[in-house]
Amino acid sequence: MKYARLTKEQFDELHQEFINFLASQSITAEEWQDIKTNKPDVAEDELDVFSDLVWEGVLNQAKYIEHISKNQLFLFKIGETNMTLIGIKVENDAIDIRTKEGYQWLQNNLMNNDVTIYTSTKAITEDRNKDVFVLIQQGGNITQGELYNYFEKIIEK
């Protein structure tokens, strides 16, 4: 398995897609029940293959990843060959940028000495999707890039 097995909730959500996946391998509903009962290892392998296919599809589409903690924002833009990071760190422990008030404070105080903004670019390895998956495993979320683009415009000024 290249990535991670989907959760039960994710499998439930992708029930029809999983049926289509089994059908593409000429596995009927009855045969699937038999495989689950009599060949659990084969069933596990099928679940893993399907999970990897889903992850590949999701990761291929990922262009932005955000990881937000109490006092840091990590905003990634994923290109074909490079990954660009905008990092923002708040040194004031009283501020939690995950809250509406904390984020508002950040927007109003970007030039405050308690705020550090930095950027970095890193080459993507030969396995782009694995690089993106690692960011997700570390707590990142795939987004449309609104925050990245917002802060990119501010940095460019």
Residue 157 has pLDDT above 80, yes or no: no
Give the C-alpha separation, 127 to 133, whole Å.
10
When the pLDDT of each residue in the chain is averaged and rounded to a whole number, the result is: 92
Cα dihedral 138, 143, 145, 151 in deg (nearest 10) = -50
Tokens of 131: 């690089």
pLDDT bin (cut points 50, 70, 90) of residue 156 is: confident
- What is the mean predicted confidence (pLDDT) over 9-38? 90
Give the C-alpha separation, 41 to 113, whole Å.
57
- Kindly report the pTM of this predicted structure: 0.84
Give the C-alpha separation, 61 to 135, whole Å.
15
Residue 135 has pLDDT above 90, yes or no: yes
Q: What is the DSSP letter of 37?
A: H
Closest to 53 in 3D by CA, of 21, 29, 80: 21
